[in-house]
Amino acid sequence: MEDMTGILKDYLPLQLVGYGDVYADEEGDENAWLNEYDFIWKPKVDSEDTPQVYLGDQTICFITKGRDKRDALKNKIGDKLLRLPKISNCWGKESLMMADELAEDLTFSEILGVTRTKAEIIDAAGDKRQGYTAFSFHKVLFHERIETRLEHVSAELRPIIKVFLKAHSSTYLIHKDVLEKWQHANVEDVAYNIDDEHRKLRNLQRAEFYYGSSGNRDFSNMEDFLLNQNPRIY
């Protein structure tokens, strides 16, 4: 962060670029569309009181937070699979969902209180997907505490940290080295050009609302979405 010294100067906000609306073709089923809620993951359980952090002691099945539209989507895409983001939010924003290809490169110091849980995803079309990990962040640290607690922790063991902003508000910060590596790997679900106002922790703390989001990508039809072509980014 540009207004920080010490450890935090090497971090930037982790801003996700989500999927916006994906519209059905004019001749298709009007229910065969997607929006951002179809890429937010929640445990497949009966109660909304389920904790939003996971301990890693067992595989957890996650479903989308969006409304049920499986039949319409399945009819639309046939035997194809929906594209899924390599990194996205879990319900409650206490955990991040990552494709294993990203997750396997991340190691966290025990001081950070991060657990990794093997995840099985049932996507919005009802298909079961493997190869995902949910990272739960059990600790949110004041920025002053980060400087003292992590002083002797190598950068490789603190790739992502969760920092307190103000009451009921926190955000993820990602180390610049990790962000650069993801950019070279063409991970498109993360913002790399962070607005100047968001590069300062003080600004994030003063913001009335800050969601750690950097807009969405819309697609005019399902084919464009499946092939990842002609997105409208805003």
CB burial of residue 48 (10 Å; 0-12, 13-18, 19+) = exposed
Q: The tokens of 98 are what?
A: 């990552």
pLDDT tens digit sequence for 79-125: 999 999 999 999 888 999 999 999 999 999 999 999 999 999 999 99
Cα gap 114→42, rounded to integer Å: 18
User: Which pLDDT score, from 0 to 100, does residue 132 have?
Assistant: 98
Average model confidence (pLDDT) for the chain?
A: 90
pTM of the predicted structure, to 2 decimals: 0.93
pLDDT tens digit sequence for 164-201: 998 888 999 999 999 999 999 999 999 999 999 999 99
Mean pLDDT along residues 68-81:
89
Strands 11-13 and 160-166: unpaired
Q: Is the pLDDT of residue 30 over 80?
A: no
Mean pLDDT along residues 200-224:
87
Q: Is the pLDDT of residue 27 over 70?
A: no
pLDDT tens digit sequence for 53-66: 888 889 999 999 88
User: Which pLDDT score, from 0 to 100, does residue 44 have?
Assistant: 87
